[in-house]
Each structure stands twice: as C-alpha cells, then as structure tokens.
C-alpha cells in the first residue's frame, strides 16, 4: 500500500479495538481496488469519545466505523442521524459531509439481510414467520431489517423478557411481534421460515445456545450472528438436520460495504478471498 499526501482516511473507533476485524476488511478492499486511502484502528476510551468525534473532520477523516461501547453515544452526538439508525438506536458508521458535519448511519441491518440474500437459494423475509433470539443491540438491527424486508410476523425470545417486550414495542409498528418466554423457545420454532441467534451464546468463551431444533421446519433458514467460531453449535445442529445454515461472518463483511462506498467511492464486493482473509484473522 502506497499512500499519497491526498490519501483518504477512515478507521474504527472502539474500546478495546484490538479484536476488530474491520481494519483487515477495509484494508483488503483498499488494496483490491487500488485506492489511495487508509483505514486504521482508533482505540478511544469512553471518556474521550466525544472529543475524538468532534476532531475527526478537523483531522481530515472522511468517516469511521463506531463499535462497542460507543454505538449508542454516537447516536446522541452526531449532527445528522439517518432514520434507520434512530430506529435501531445505534450508529455504527460515521460519514463526514462536505460542510464538515457528521452523519450517523447504521449498516448492520443492511449487512444482515444482504448476507442472507447472497445465499444460493436467495432469501426473502416475506417468505414466512421469523424467530429471533436475543433483544440486545444486534437484535434491534436484525428486527428492523426483517421488518423492512417484509417479514409477515416475528417471534422474539429473550432470557430477560422485559427487554424483548420493550424492543417489540419500539420497533413493531405494523408488523406483528409476539414475545415468547425463554422457556418456551423450543415450541416457538414451529412453522418458522427463519431462525436467528443474536445472543452471545455460542461465541468463543460462552456456553452454546441451549436449543432443541426438533420443531423447526427443515426448509427453514438458520443464521447466527456469532462468527467466532464460524461454525457454532447451533449452525452445526441445523446443517446436520438439513436446514440451510448461514454463518455470521457474511453479516460483518456486508455491513462494511456502505461505509466503504461513502468514504472511498466504490461499492466493494464480498468474495471468497475476502471471506478467508477476514475469517482467518
């Protein structure tokens, strides 16, 4: 990579940020498309986030990604908030406008749905009811994505039921969201066309997701937003019984595309080479 004095600058702001795969992801695209630009990790403590956000345009950055623990703070601090980011309640992408103001977007919903669409069989949320496990930040993006893609109904299941009730209340609108108790999760899979795990269960260092798939139709799609490990226990179980199982790495890769396009002027592609480069990190 050779940078000129005119190189466009972007990065990822997080604390800690060392585990982030975004520098690999965007670095690969910058190389691949031969762009005069750089994407760097920006370790920023919560107490310094506001100051860093303000100075980013002044330092010549074209934008940045925002990750844990700053996504909600970013929503409150940016000058303009895209409606989808407001609905989700978090900003993961910052774009510096021509006048130096900061626009906050959320590309997680795009990443989630686009990853499913890229599967050989294609995917349409409108095909049938969806079951979503979890009610954290990731679940908010997934639920918004499914609603916008026309899901007919949704069952939302979380260990802490009140969080699911609140999410359903905030995002539901015209779409029927039924909150189901965590203990009833097995029965709730009957008739579903899609099952999504947005909880942290199954992630490296966490116990597997305790879920019996017996009631799930075999033509349902199963996806996990956990991508470390790539093949979670849930996905292995699903594949074993004949369901299409989609891992979470694709969501991470696709969510990066709109930001890259806004900063560097090229809508990048997700390829097998990219998957192994970022997935192998």
Q: Which stretch binds ligand ATR (CB under 6 A): 9-17, 93-101, 108-116, 153-161?
A: 153-161
Taking CB under 6 A as the rule, which mask of x and - marks residues 72-111 in contact with ligand ATR? ----------------------------------------
Q: Which of 27, 41, 89, 136 binds ligand ATR (CB under 6 A)?
A: 136
Regarding 248 and contact with ligand ATR (CB under 6 A), the answer is: no
Question: Least CB distance from residue 205 to ligand ATR, whole Å?
Answer: 11
Regarding 250 and contact with ligand ATR (CB under 6 A), the answer is: no
Question: Least CB distance from residue 14 to ligand ATR, whole Å?
Answer: 13
Q: State the residue number with the nearest CB to ligand ATR.
A: 136
Regarding 158 and contact with ligand ATR (CB under 6 A), the answer is: yes
Regarding 32 and contact with ligand ATR (CB under 6 A), the answer is: no
Query: How far is the C-alpha of 162 from the C-alpha of 81, rounded, in Å?
Result: 27
Query: How far is the C-alpha of 11 from the C-alpha of 239, rounded, in Å?
Result: 36
Regarding 137 and contact with ligand ATR (CB under 6 A), the answer is: yes
Query: How far is the C-alpha of 57 from the C-alpha of 270, rounded, in Å?
Result: 28
Residue 71 appears among annotated catalytic residues: yes
Q: Exposed, middle or buried, 128 (CB in 10 Å: 0-12/13-18/19+)?
A: middle
Question: Least CB distance from residue 201 to ligand ATR, whole Å?
Answer: 5
Query: How far is the C-alpha of 242 from the C-alpha of 52, rounded, in Å?
Result: 48
What is the footprint of ligand ATR within residues 183-222 (CB under 6 A)?
Answer: 198-201
Catalytic residue among 8, 21, 70, 71: 71
Specify the residue, 199 or 243, whose C-beta has the smaller distance to ligand ATR: 199
> Site for ligand ATR (CB under 6 A): how many residues?
14
By annotation, the residues acting in catalysis are: 71
Site residues for ligand ATR per CB under 6 A = 134-139, 158-160, 163, 198-201
């Amino acid at each position: 990579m050779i940078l000129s004095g005119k190189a466009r600058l972007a990065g990822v702001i997080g604390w800690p940020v060392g585990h982030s795969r975004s520098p690999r992801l965007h670095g690969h695209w910058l190389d691949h498309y031969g762009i005069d630009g750089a994407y760097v990790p920006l370790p920023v403590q919560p107490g310094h986030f506001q100051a860093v956000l303000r100075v980013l345009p002044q330092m010549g950055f074209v934008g940045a990604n925002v990750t844990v623990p700053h996504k909600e703070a970013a929503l409150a601090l940016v000058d303009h908030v895209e409606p989808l980011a407001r609905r989700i309640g978090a900003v993961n992408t910052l774009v510096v406008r021509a006048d130096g103001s900061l626009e906050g977007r959320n590309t997680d919903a795009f990443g989630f749905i686009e990853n499913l669409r890229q599967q050989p069989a294609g995917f349409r949320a409108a095909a049938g009811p969806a079951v979503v496990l979890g009610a954290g930040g990731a679940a908010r993006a997934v639920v918004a994505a499914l609603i916008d893609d026309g899901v007919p109904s949704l069952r939302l299941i979380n260990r802490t039921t009140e969080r699911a009730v609140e999410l359903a209340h905030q995002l539901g609108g015209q779409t029927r969201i039924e909150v189901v108790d965590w203990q009833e999760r097995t029965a709730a899979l009957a008739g579903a066309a899609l099952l999504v795990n947005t909880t942290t269960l199954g992630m490296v260092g966490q116990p597997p997701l305790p879920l019996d798939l017996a009631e799930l139709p075999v033509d349902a799609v199963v996806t996990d937003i956990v991508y470390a490990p790539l093949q979670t226990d849930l996905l292995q179980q699903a594949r074993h019984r004949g369901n299409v199982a989609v891992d979470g790495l694709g969501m991470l890769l696709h969510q990066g595309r709109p930001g890259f396009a806004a900063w560097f002027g090229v809508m990048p592609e997700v390829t097998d080479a990219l998957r192994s480069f970022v997935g192998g990190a």
